[in-house]
Structure 1
């Protein structure tokens, strides 16, 4: 059963991973343009940043309603609906006559992205056997990373070639249309890939405490799922929210640090680019580690690496060669982030009820997205007083996250090493 499911999933890889790549590629081609559009309409820097962050707010707000859509309509219909709603949002961004319409359109795109992401997460949770779940979900993480990495380059190329300021927004619309066509007309993975058996496939662990079949009461929805699985949700999910926050905060801290120590824009971009390249290069390695050795061996090294990086960085601001220290810490951060590729998706899938995961996954994604949204705000607030203090605070937060993973992953997600396949 496991080998049959595995071969079926690989045959359908374009249908499974292609829509995610297209959605994320278009989204991250458009997002860097949002502050520029807002400033052109008369917004100050603060307001333009707030409008750009509307996509995160929309994603947070959309996670819980997304579970209702996915549970009742299925993954394929939910993704088609999400692509349609995001297309409306993209048109709103391109044609916005004022800041209010621009802000609402960005929020709508984030709202749709929540449904799109949850639908694919739910599909992978129910269809992928445990023996290679982490590798399959790490490829989802890699698909996001590919879109985030290539999207800004796509935008830069379009702007250079066309000179049309809204070109990246219309590129997002084209990506959405292509994703919808792929979801609508390619072989449907939801129908062709069988649901993993009650054991979740070869090597599946026992159900986590509080996440048995009772948590999958379809009639109870999100509240029932959260009540049944609140222990692992709050404990493992709390550590996962910390990791999500660290990932988001480093995207704010590293450029700010470069500015603070006097680096020019090209050097800062190089540092961030090197970190992102290492991160992207390791996404499949993370899945292999998790499937072979257990989830803890991806989560713990990742958070420890980030803790070391941020704590060391906090001590180097005024040292000679501060730029070299920043590059070294950015490399270590990239290693940590790369080693954790897919870990949030995998932990959520491990803990979710097997027969109706969408409500639990919606709560899980809301918690981790909340961590990702709050941490950059905290870094910015602390940086007003001291940038090294911000880095030190992130280091301490990473230590707490690593302790949480070390304590709770072995309790709620027993490592059951799958048998080797020839």
Structure 2
């Protein structure tokens, strides 16, 4: 971490150390617990009598819950604040955990998974809003890339935890208990631990007091002439959730759609890569090895993305990310029937991993960049709804294109969406996003 100085004299390293115990810690803990149950949800669903399609739907209910929960979470954060929203999300998530443990019917399991998805949206939006309002633009991308890395940590390490618990206890429900324990710890941390909101507010008050003292020293006291004061007194306007969306419809319909294309491309990987490996005749262990190495590579790059965005601008991470992922998918679509298809699969899986690693924190950072300074939670709820919708549509599009045309054609179409998204970023980022060097 560098010592870049932002407004107020703080540095990126100081901000990250300040927020690590109460922002990144709970986020990593929550995502670790969620990552531990995701691989086992289809197995639990099948034990309750689900077929393959229904089991996949049970797992998808977390994504559906997140998609449906973003707008209500924005309203809740704007009313209660980040800390109380996270506490409430932890408590309600425990209700979902209890439903999972006690469910004897697929409908109960599906509803419980949906509830956890709703709470995941509230948790993520609360942290996103806090970082948007508290972290200066000069090192915002690095801080939010670490937040994105904290979410990725669970997705990367959670399956290893669930495998260990399964080997130790022999039951899938052990991972659900583990997630419940993580939620209890998260709830205790955010409720009773040091409040980063208060720390940030105290630092801001100290800076304002120092600025006032400096002004008092430099300027002479003015006399009261008895004349009426002209000019308006600034007030904070509250326009509500849908008023905020309507006011910022230009950025949401342009940059927001481009951001959704990145989310679309990202979400296609978990479905596309295993399918491609199977279609070219690789066994399960080979596919798992290639996908695992690619996952480790993209996880290792998450902080580099923030460095690039803060030093050179948002385009220098977002556009190469989309070009690498989209170009690799288009190129891979032409290798299916080649004798060296397995070799090319490994090469392009790694290229896609590099592109995805460079995109860590981009959606969080761009959302924070264009969010209004007053009441950003409502805007971020709409922003996250758009990006989550892109991610939710991706597996459905992969499945539909594979069934209607072919896997190669579907892969090429998804890659083309990435190239169109890169054009959208080039067009709209300079218009809507401030440069970090001008903060």
Match of 1:63 among 66, 70, 91: 70
Counterpart of 2:112 in structure 1 is 105
What's the offset of the Cα at 1:5?
7.0
Q: How far apart are the structure 2 equivalents of 1:281 and 1:170?
A: 29
Of 357-366 and 35-44, more deviation after overlay is shown by 35-44
What is the alpha-carbon distance in structure 1 between the residues aligned to residue 165 and residue 411 of structure 2? 36
Secondary structure in structure 1 of the residue aligned to 2:166:
helix
1:254 pairs with 2:276: no
- Contact kept? 1:306, 1:336, Cα under 8 Å: yes
> Separation in 1 of the partners of 2:374 and 2:40?
41
Which residue in 2 is equivalent to 1:273?
292
In the alignment, structure 1 residue 406 sits paired with structure 2 residue 426:
yes
Q: Distance in 1 between matches of 2:409 and 2:302?
A: 30
Q: 1:333 aligns with which of 352, 355, 361?
A: 352
Work out the CA distance in 1 between the residues paired with 2:15 and 2:139: 13
Task: Specify the alignment match of 1:233 in structure 2.
Answer: 252
CA distance in 2, matches of 1:43, 1:217: 52
From 79, 85, 89, the counterpart of 1:72: 79
Larger Rg: 2
1:307: how far off? 1.3
* Cross-structure match for 1:290: 309
Partners of 1:277 and 1:9 in 2: CA distance: 23
Query: 2 CA distance for matches of 1:414 and 1:12?
Result: 24
Q: 1: CA distance between counterparts of 2:243 and 2:66?
A: 22
Is this contact kept in 2: 1:282–1:335, CA < 8 A? yes
Kindly report which structure 2 residues correspond to 1:112-261, keeping only aligned pairs within 5 A, or say none.
Answer: 112-194=119-201, 219-261=238-280
Structure 1 counterpart SS, 2:131: helix
Q: CA RMSD in A?
A: 1.7
C-alpha contact 1:126 1:195 (8 A) present in aligned 2: no
Secondary structure at 1:414's aligned position in 2?
A: coil
How far is 1:416 from its partner? 4.0
Deviation track 1:325-369 (CA, whole Å, cap 9, x = no partner) reads: 111111010000000100000000000011210000000000000
* Structure 2 Cα separation of the partners of residues 250 and 110 of structure 1: 21
Contact 1:29–1:152, Cα closer than 8 Å, also in 2: yes
User: CA contact under 8 A between 1:12 and 1:187: conserved in structure 2?
Assistant: no
Taking the aligned partners of 2:111 and 2:351, their CA distance within structure 1 comes to 37
Q: Kindly report which structure 2 residues correspond to 1:17-36, keeping only aligned pairs within 5 A, or say none.
A: 17-36=24-43
2:9 is aligned to 3
Residue 369 of structure 1: aligned partner: 388
Given that 2:61 and 2:117 are in contact with CA atoms closer than 8 Å, whether structure 1 keeps it comes out as: yes
Deviations 1:369-392 (A, max 9, x none): 000000111011111130001110
Corresponding residue of 1:313: 332
Distance 1:52 1:25 in 2: 16
Give per-residue Cα distances to partners, 1:9-32, cap 9 Å, x unaligned: 523311110111011100010011
Where does residue 346 of structure 1 map in the other structure? Answer: 365
- Runs (4+) of structure 1 exceeding 6 A deviation are none
Q: Tell me, in whole angstroms, the C-alpha distance in 1 between the residues paired with 2:203 and 2:247.
A: 22
CA contact (8 A) 2:260 2:391 kept: yes
Structure 1: runs of 5 or more not aligned: 198-215
CA shift digits 1:308-328 (9 cap, x unpaired):
110011000010121111111
Match of 2:401 in 1: 382
How many aligned positions are there?
A: 402
In structure 1, distance between residues paired with 2:329 and 2:203 = 41
The 8 Å contact of residues 15 and 135 in structure 2, kept in 1 or not, is answered as no
1:87 matched to 2:94? The reply is yes
Q: CA deviation at 1:414?
A: 3.5
Cα separation, 2, equivalents of 1:77 and 1:222: 19
Question: What's the counterpart of residue 207 of structure 1?
Answer: none
1:399-420 Cα shifts (integer Å, max 9, x gaps):
100000011101111324269x
Q: Provide the residue aligned with 1:200 in structure 2.
A: none
Question: How has the CA–CA distance of structure 1 residues 196 and 310 changed in structure 2, closer, same or farther, with 3 Å as cutoff?
Answer: farther
Is 1:395 the counterpart of 2:395? The answer is: no
Tell me the TM-score normalized by structure 2.
Answer: 0.89
